[in-house]
Amino acid sequence: MSVKQSLLAILDQGACYGYQLRAEFDRRTGGTWPLNVGQIYSTLDRLERDGFVERGEADDDGHVFWRITDAGRDEANRWLNSPVPAAKGTRDELAIKLALAATLPGVDVGAIVQTQRIASLRHLQELNRAKYAGSADSAEELAWSLVVDSMIFQTEAQIRWLDHTEQRLRLTPVAPIAIADEPARRGRPVREAKK
């Protein structure tokens, strides 16, 4: 998720100070991605350095209002009108955990899958309860429900992936991988020269 572009998109609606930006972000996303104020101010500093925002004068309460520049408006529009690129590789802790567990001796991967499935099903129930507890009568509620819908679909996909993983491990048991005898080389792997 791009905090930088999200803040620009909000600032495109009008000048805000840091805490106000955090409140607007939370209001528009249902608080499902918590941002701390320090992160907002450090992002604003980078946006100012890059020419996307300008720091205004402080008001009587000491709030410094930030305004978007034309370059910032262009950046926000570019972000809003571009697809989100698919992640390269995975930082999914569960996928890494199961990949490692499947190659370690003495680990009951089936038990890990079952424990995760139970937790994921509980999480799915909580998300569904939260979704149906709200209404879509306001823009804020609609925005929140869109984020919750995304979380529901991700959790359902995770449960399907766990089912697939369990079946795959049952059909193709693998032997544990022993630690390599060859010492690891320092640095990056050498790439073959292009011909």
Predicted confidence at residue 1, as pLDDT, reads 54
Predicted confidence at residue 143, as pLDDT, reads 83
Predicted confidence at residue 126, as pLDDT, reads 92
The 10 Å Cβ neighbour count of residue 151 is 18
Predicted confidence at residue 139, as pLDDT, reads 81
Predicted confidence at residue 188, as pLDDT, reads 65
Predicted confidence at residue 136, as pLDDT, reads 62
Q: Which residue type does 56 have? A: G
Q: pTM of the entire structure?
A: 0.68
Predicted confidence at residue 33, as pLDDT, reads 80
Mean pLDDT in each 10-residue stretch from start to end of the chain (195 residues)? 88 94 87 85 96 94 95 95 80 87 87 95 92 72 86 95 92 78 71 60
Q: By C-alpha distance, which of 192, 21, 179, 28 is closest to 103?
A: 179
- What is the DSSP code string of 29-79? HTTSS---HHHHHHHHHHHHHTTSEEEEEE-TT-PEEEEE-HHHHHHHHHH
CB half-sphere exposure, 185, CA atoms < 13 A:
4
Predicted confidence at residue 31, as pLDDT, reads 74
Predicted confidence at residue 57, as pLDDT, reads 87
The 10 Å Cβ neighbour count of residue 98 is 21
**Axis-axis angle for helices 3-11, 18-29 (nearest 10):** 100
